[in-house]
Amino acid sequence: MPRNQDATHRNALGDISMLYVSVLLRAAEEEGADARGLALQFGLDETGLASPEARISIPRFMRMGHAAIRDSGNPALGLRMGALSRPVDAGLAGIAAETAPTVSQALRTLIRYSLLTSQNSRGRPSIEPERRTVHFYSIRPYNPYNYFVVDSVLAAWTQFARTLTGRYDLLEKVSIEYRSNGLDDLFESWFRCPVEFGAGGNSLTFKESAWRQPSNQAHPAMHEQLGRLCEQELENIRRGWQMSDRVRHLMTPMFRGETPSLERVAARLGMTPWTLQRHLASEGTGFRQLLDKTRQQLAEDYLRETDSSLSEIAWLLGFANPPAFHKAYQRWFGISPGERRKQLRQAVNNNLPPEQIQSSVASSTKS
């Protein structure tokens, strides 16, 4: 899903998906911390935590991680996060990567689509296939608030490869940019290879056999399909979605049998209703306007592309009853939905190509 630009506007460092916050809370709980209390302390509710669309700012995430380490008493909490990470915790990119043919292709997919779940002004992860190495960018200066970020990323990539192969002896070397904090033996035991602290960067170097090993979750056809979805989401981000784009995208599956409320949509985005309204107003629109416009677009699609009854379409659009849908459609287009469907079917019977059908229908609504 597209990232929350709200967080990046508030803080120049960037944002991260709530998926990673959930991993942090799971790790904290496993280590004896009060995960519920931690979430409340940082103003996070269950709806936001469960939403792949919601984001948290990078500085807030680092403060939360520091608090979790303090409460749990485990300075290597990032390693625990890695051990508890699943492919799905990387969102759509993780699921796409899981189905790749080999470990190297899986990591390449994970790195390519990392922007779908995190954005940081410091840089982006990268991969050197010829060196069998994946890199996490520098987040200097290092301090107790961000050590765990490096630990968790490198550990999560390692755990991801372990999940795909069932192997633990995957790595030749781990490089960590920050200086040793006295946990060298623990890190080498966890990664099962030499770990260099104070290195020139943050990276994992894989063994040749592990790099080329087939994934036990490989599914080429599904990998291709999921890759296309990732490309679409990546293009949306690069094109620069506004908040109104994100709201319309989020609303669409929420209409069925009900009208999405401002409060529910805001919660899915991890923000307050007032904050969402403010951002929409800055883009020259409002929640009710977007709700109406999205319904109009969906109504046209359902009439054109499906054989659903008008009662079913009314339900799919969240109207209380079919008459309410008829009234709204008449207001939008100056014609009843039944008459519109007749026009569409007549055009099809006359063997008009799709573009002419759309043009014919569009012109009839303007007349």
Neighbour tally for 337: CB within 10 Å: 22
Tell me the two tokens of residue 32.
């004896």
Angle at 85 (CA atoms; ends 76, 195), nearest 5 degrees: 45
Question: Could you tell me the pLDDT band of residue 39, with boundaries at 50, 70 and 90?
Answer: very high
Instruction: Give ranges for CATH 3.90.1520 in the chain.
Output: 14-232
User: Looking at the domain covering 14-232, what would its CATH class be?
Assistant: alpha beta
Binned at pLDDT 50, 70 and 90, residue 354 comes out as very low
Segment 93-112 shows an average pLDDT of 97
What is the distance, to the nearest Å, from the Cα of residue 17 to the centroid of all Cα atoms in its chain? 6
pLDDT of res. 66 = 95
Q: What is the pLDDT of residue 289?
A: 92
The pTM for the full model equals 0.71
More reliable by pLDDT, 6 or 166: 166
| DSSP 8-state symbol, 270 | T
What integer pLDDT is reported at residue 320 of this predicted model?
87
Segments in the chain forming alpha helices (H): 5-10, 18-30, 35-41, 46-50, 58-72, 77-84, 91-98, 103-112, 147-165, 184-191, 208-211, 220-239, 243-251, 262-268, 273-282, 287-305, 310-316, 322-333, 337-349, 354-366
pLDDT in tens, 121-144: 678 899 999 999 999 999 888 889
Per-residue pLDDT for 352 more than 70? no
Q: Report yes or no: 266 and 273 within 8 Å, Cβ to Cβ.
A: yes
Instruction: Tell me the per-residue pLDDT of 227-276, one tens digit each, with 9 for 90 and over.
Output: 999 999 888 887 777 888 878 877 877 887 788 999 988 888 888 899 99
**Residue keyed to tokens 């470990």:** 103
Note the pLDDT of residue 111.
Answer: 96
Give the C-alpha separation, 252 to 289, whole Å.
Answer: 14
Q: Encode 128-163: b = buried (16+ Cβ within 10 Å), e = exposed.
A: eeeebbbbbbebeebeebbbbbbbbbbbbbbbbbbb
- Tell me how far apart the alpha carbons of residues 44 and 68 are, in angstroms, rounded to a whole number: 14
Q: Pick the residue with more confidence: 65 or 120?
A: 65
109 contacts 96 by C-beta, under 8 angstroms: yes
Closest CA to 313 of 328, 327, 298: 298
pLDDT tens sequence across 283-342? 899 999 999 998 998 888 788 777 778 998 899 888 989 999 999 999 999 999 999 888
Q: Please check whether residue 212 is in contact with residue 103, taking contact to mean a CB–CB distance below 8 angstroms.
A: yes
Identify which has the larger pLDDT, 106 or 364. 106
* CATH number assigned to the domain covering 242-362: 1.10.10.60
Distance CA(147)–CA(140), nearest Å, equals: 10
The conformation of residue 180, written as its DSSP 8-state character, comes to P
Report the alpha-carbon angle 62-68-74, nearest 5.
115
Name the average pLDDT for the chain: 88
Strands 171-176 and 118-120: unpaired
Q: To 10 degrees, what angle do helices 354-366 and 287-305 make?
A: 130
123: how many CB neighbours lie within 10 A of its CB? Answer: 11
The closest alpha carbon to 250, from 280, 225, 227, 211, belongs to 280
Q: Are 15 and 58 in contact (CB under 8 A)?
A: yes
How far apart, in whole angstroms, are the C-alpha atoms of residue 94 and residue 89?
7
**First vs last Cα of the chain: how many Å apart?**
38
Q: Which part of the chain is CATH 1.10.10.60?
A: 242-362
